[in-house]
Structure 1
Amino acid sequence: MTVSRVLRNRGDVSEATRAKVLEAAKTLGYVPNKIAGALASQRVNLVAVIIPSMRNMVFPEVMAGISAVLEDTELQPVVGVTDYEPEKEERVLYEMLSWRPSGVIIAGIEHTEASKAMMQASGIPVVEIMDTDGNPIDTAVGISHRRAGREMAKAILRAGYQKIGFLGTKMPLDYRARKRFEGFTEALAKGGVEVVEQEFYSGGSALAKGREMTQAILEREPELDFLYYSNDMIGAGGLLYLLEQGRDIPGDIGLAGFNGVELLQGLPRKLATMDACRAEIGKKAAEIIASRVNDPTAEFEKIIEMTPKISYGDTLRR
């Protein structure tokens, strides 16, 4: 009765006891069931989709892939946004699982212990997306960001660039950007090259931020001959800044981003980039959820890895 009162947020329970009950529930991965007990299936036709951001142009494309598959089923996606905060992800996951969805699609492989416990205890299909560098709870669909970083570094070295700068988000919580950077520096080191200078920022990706960062890094290290950006949006800002300065691209200085954002195809020069297979990842994740809802015994590989390709554009010498 005491546990019931705590989980239903009723009174007559001391704060000390309430804290003990909530801590025990968190440790066990327990999530209260908000569906009427009479529902025979104990599930609703919802798929919880948990992503870091809707402002980042990457995730709307993922959502488009998910929706394209689920619109032919009885399942409906419901979106939760975490802002790259593990504790917020935990809260969003808790609320969504309390409604007993038919499946979970969640960005990334790194989660808090409480989030992992909730997903493991849920008894429903869980697909972690965007990343395959790790050990998934159930199934993972994505790309290897370490491999993506390595492949871009190899292309830059083949083109003859030697004085390289990196510009990107601060990466304690953006695990995928951090893994790309790790793969990038690893491949450069094998070629006897190091990142000469770095410029980091916090906050959302923006053209203006890319311009500011590019100007700042080149003021410190004017001899840089290549700039690698953690995403296309800041890369596009850097490209516009360098064109205004009359720089020879890609002869004097080269640039590359990441994500293959289609919106940027209208730039004066086509930015070198790498497609993250976003729509394909969304579609595959939704297909797995839909198949396993129809047939719980359906089997899939634990890790399904997509292979992104480099687009050289006009800013990376071949």
Structure 2
Amino acid sequence: MSDHRRRARPSSAVTLADVARASGVSEITVSRVVRAHGPIAPETRAKVEAAIARVGYVPNRLAGGLASAGSDLVGVVLPSLSNSVFPDVLRGLTSALGTGGLRAVMAVTDYDLDAERDAVAALLAWRPAALVVAGLEHRPETVEMAKASGVTVIELMDIEGEPIDLAVGMSHTAAGAATARRLVTRGRTRIGYVGHGAQDLRAAKRRAGLEAALAESDLRLEGVTVVPGPSSVASGREALAALLAERPTLDAVVFSNDDMALGGAFHCMAADVAVPERLALIGFNGLDLAAALPRPLTTVRTARERIGRIAGEHVLARRRGEEPPRLTDTGFELVAGGTD
């Protein structure tokens, strides 16, 4: 194992003693703060809580001789289950973990990084065999907890950045760039974008890649509509209608994902907008439903189930004392449908 990888892997969990040293109080005082038991001066509590956040301490809910009971659990924190994307990831993950007798315990955050931080704290308190989270961007406290936990940490769906431990996924910037180049080669020059909530940081990377690649051909996005909240077919339909009302000369629209693009396709059907003759549509994810449209959606297909399966295999490899690659690029495929 290289020195770089050895340093990247957490070696031991942060303890009460570490918090006591960081805060300058006794372990008993730290324990009282953690268990909310007994009188504690407000200034002392604040000092201990600041030290806990700084060193990444997570209380052990299995203390007292039951720690081995949590060794077959893997904490999984996902941003959404509203479409098949993350269920596909979860299916691959659980199928791989099952071969090693491990079970997934899951939390959903709705792309809220504060909710992710709280979910990670709750799951790490049970001392799981591993922690699996989506994306590479987290609150600083989340990163510190994960690093200090001493467990295998795998970040999914993205490899553009420095992982806490291991990462399995793809380049979203490259996917956005591939989308732009596809449209340029098809002769599209008046391109718009329909997206969803800014909290989806991987969608933001795809948009950045899209805009950078368009700039290579002296093009830019001619119109943008981003709806608040999560993606959905309904919001995609409404957003495309609003965008075309504002920018009627667009000849192509890129969507943040297939849910939104499906909604756009339904708007075009209802409004008698000819696709792709009048307007090209491109999505992201490669959902089965998008392929079932009368004109299958042109989209970027991601290896979602494979990403989950590889993550599960990495967890099992670590338990065997093996060292998986720090970054695993599963790539993507631009699927030419009938909408561009």
Give the TM-score taking structure 2 as reference length.
0.89
Aligned to 1:271: 297
Tell me, in whole angstroms, the C-alpha distance in 2 between the residues paired with 1:137 and 1:51: 16
Aligned to 1:99: 126
Judge conservation of contact 1:56–1:205 (CA < 8 Å) in 2: no
SS in 2 for 1:275: strand
SS in 1 for 2:60: coil
Q: How is 1:224-263 mapped onto 2 (pairs within 5 angstroms)?
A: 224-263=250-289
SS in 2 for 1:120: helix
Aligned to 1:283: 309
Which amino acid in structure 2 is aligned with residue 32 of structure 1? P
Judge conservation of contact 2:60–2:125 (CA < 8 Å) in 1: yes
SS in 2 for 1:299: coil
Gaps of 5+ in 1: none
Aligned to 1:207: 233
State which of 147, 161, 164 in structure 2 corresponds to 1:134.
Answer: 161
Q: Deviations over 1:82-134 (max 9, x none)?
A: 22111111111111111100001110101111111111111111110000111
Aligned to 2:17: none
Q: Deviations over 1:144-192 (max 9, x none)?
A: 0000000111011000000000000132x21100100000000000011
Tell me, in whole angstroms, the C-alpha distance in 2 between the residues paired with 1:174 and 1:268: 29
Matched-pair identity in %: 38
Tell me, in whole angstroms, the C-alpha distance in 1 between the residues paired with 2:83 and 2:269: 25
Tell me, in whole angstroms, the C-alpha distance in 2 between the residues paired with 1:36 and 1:190: 57
SS in 2 for 1:96: helix
Aligned to 1:9: 36
Tell me, in whole angstroms, the C-alpha distance in 2 between the residues paired with 1:112 and 1:28: 14
Tell me, in whole angstroms, the C-alpha distance in 2 between the residues paired with 1:294 and 1:83: 34
Aligned to 2:327: 303
Tell me, in whole angstroms, the C-alpha distance in 2 between the residues paired with 1:188 and 1:142: 24
Which amino acid in structure 1 is aligned with residue 294 of structure 2? P
Q: How is 1:1-318 mapped onto 2 (pairs within 5 angstroms)?
A: 1-39=28-66, 41=68, 43-171=70-198, 173-295=199-321, 298-316=322-340
Judge conservation of contact 1:138–1:302 (CA < 8 Å) in 2: yes
1:39 is displaced (CA, Å) by 4.6
Give the TM-score taking structure 1 as reference length.
0.95
1:139 is displaced (CA, Å) by 0.8
Dislocated runs of 4+, deviation >6 Å: none
1:56 is displaced (CA, Å) by 3.7
- Alignment root-mean-square deviation, CA: 1.4
1:40 is displaced (CA, Å) by 7.0
Q: Deviations over 1:243-287 (max 9, x none)?
A: 222222112210001011113333222111111211110000010
Which amino acid in structure 2 is aligned with residue 3 of structure 1? V
